[in-house]
Amino acid sequence: MNQLFDVPAGGRRIAAVCVAVLLTAAIATEGADTGSVFVTVAWTVSGGLPLAALAARRDRFGTVAATGVLASCLVTLVETRTAVRPETTFGMVETSALLLLVVRAVRRCPPLRAAGLTGGALAALTVIVLRLPPSEYERLVPFAVPALWCAAALAGVLGLYLRLLDRYRAQEHRTVLQAERLEHARELHDFVGHHVTAIIAQSKAVRYATAAGHPPTPGELDGMLADIEEAGAQAMRSMRSMVAVLRSPGTAAHPGGDVTELRALTQRFARTGPATTLALDPRLEAGGLPPGLATTVHHIVRESLTNVRKHARRARTVTVDVRLEGDTARPAVLVSVTDDGPEAARAGEPAGAGAGPRSGYGLAGLAERTAMVGGSVTAGPRAGVGWLVEARIPLPGPLPQPGDDQTNVTLDA
């Protein structure tokens, strides 16, 4: 069906010209019913101007429409002063054009201009039946005028409906744009914040070690600066990726990684942070997750590691566990990130995801992002010592099961 209406611009112009010629010929044929060349030309002009207003650009519509309404009224007034009258029609094409003019005026024009054009069109429709012979007035006018008023009212209602529909579509478009802006803000926070947090943590480590009287050796300092340089470069790449998304609407809105990149993510984290253990289900490592869910899992792990770097500076080990749970017909992805940082170091942090003064935008964004794919996130102190961020995301269907064993990788800082 879409291919049927997929006409090139040149074809549409040709079709528009053909329609305009046919309608003009119909108006001229109605005018020829009067038997007068002058009246035929006048009818063609008075009927052609409302048709031209329907095809005019929005900035010229008001002027052309007002001219068409005025021309219709003048032609009717002049014709009532002459003996030249049509026998069978008072201008049906022109009447239809005036009704469509009401629809477009109510839909497109500001309220005052729309009211003026609608009133003028209603006046033209009221008097247009006077073009018929006077002998027809008593029989036709009591029925034709109310019918034309009802048609004008329906045209106004249709225009109002289309106006409200346009407003709804514009509001929906703005809502979509706002949602995209919020999504880009989350992406910017997730990608850039992760790397900037690493830079801050490493810079503080150098300062604290120096202030404690244990400055790093030249080799250690060179390694720390190399890690800072790498984190800064990654932050710049993330920012360029986000700028590319903003400049090109067709670019993927999720320039981040997926489950297959969790190993590299935890390795980078372990180089400048606590020892990190990754337990990844082989079925997920094979890349069987849908792209949106895989990206969400990657975001959850990355934001959790960023929060460990921010709020659990005394943590020595971090465990990242990503596995399938449930039966094979209705599985779910269970993501958990646990650190052994003392609970006292997190005083004031909430037990729920995204709440409280220290949770920031990260956990709140994770809760929103996970809810969008039908999952849930919780965060809070683990029994004993440490902190746990856990997310459960149901899958839309079963995944292949190459094996039940998990792959465990321990990465020491």
Residue by residue, pLDDT tens for the chain (413 residues) are 444 445 566 667 787 778 878 888 888 888 787 778 888 888 889 888 998 988 888 889 999 999 999 999 999 898 888 888 887 788 888 899 999 999 999 999 999 999 999 999 999 999 988 888 888 888 888 888 999 999 999 999 999 999 999 999 989 888 877 776 776 666 666 666 666 777 777 787 778 778 877 788 888 778 778 777 777 776 776 677 666 666 655 444 444 556 777 888 888 888 777 888 888 888 777 656 776 677 788 888 888 888 888 777 778 889 899 988 876 667 888 999 988 877 644 544 443 333 333 444 567 777 877 887 788 888 888 776 678 899 988 887 666 554 444 444 444 44
Residue 272: which residues within 8 A CB-CB, separation 6 or more? 198, 201, 202, 227, 231, 413
Q: Is position 154 within any domain?
A: no
Q: What is the pLDDT of residue 356?
A: 38
Radius of gyration for the chain, computed over Cα atoms and rounded to the nearest angstrom: 36
Distances (CA, A) of 222 to 133, 227, 236, 272, 320: 102, 9, 21, 13, 29
Cβ density class 238-251: b for 16+ within 10 Å, e for less: beebbeebeeeeee
- End-of-domain residue from the set 113, 132, 151: 132
Q: Is position 405 within any domain?
A: yes
Q: What does residue 403 show for φ and ψ, rounded to 5 degrees?
A: 180, 165
| Number of domains composing the chain | 2
Q: Is position 371 within any domain?
A: yes
**0.85 exceeded by pTM:** no
Q: Is position 331 within any domain?
A: yes
Residue 152: which residues within 8 A CB-CB, separation 6 or more? 99, 102, 118, 121, 122, 125
Q: What does residue 211 show for φ and ψ, rounded to 5 degrees?
A: -65, -30
Q: Is position 137 within any domain?
A: no
How are beta strands 332-339 and 376-381 bridged, if at all?
A: unpaired
Q: Is position 195 within any domain?
A: no
Q: Range of 279's domain?
A: 257-413
Q: Is position 236 within any domain?
A: no
Inter-axis angle of helices 137-211 and 360-372, nearest 10: 130
Beta-ladder partners of 278? 320, 409
For position 283, which CATH number holds?
Answer: 3.30.565.10
- End-of-domain residue from the set 88, 117, 132: 132
- End-of-domain residue from the set 95, 114, 132: 132
Q: Which residue has the tokens 């029994």?
A: 383
Q: Is position 148 within any domain?
A: no
Residues 276 and 413 in one domain: yes
Residue 335: which residues within 8 A CB-CB, separation 6 or more? 297, 300, 301, 321, 322, 390, 391, 392, 393
Residue 382: which residues within 8 A CB-CB, separation 6 or more? 338, 388
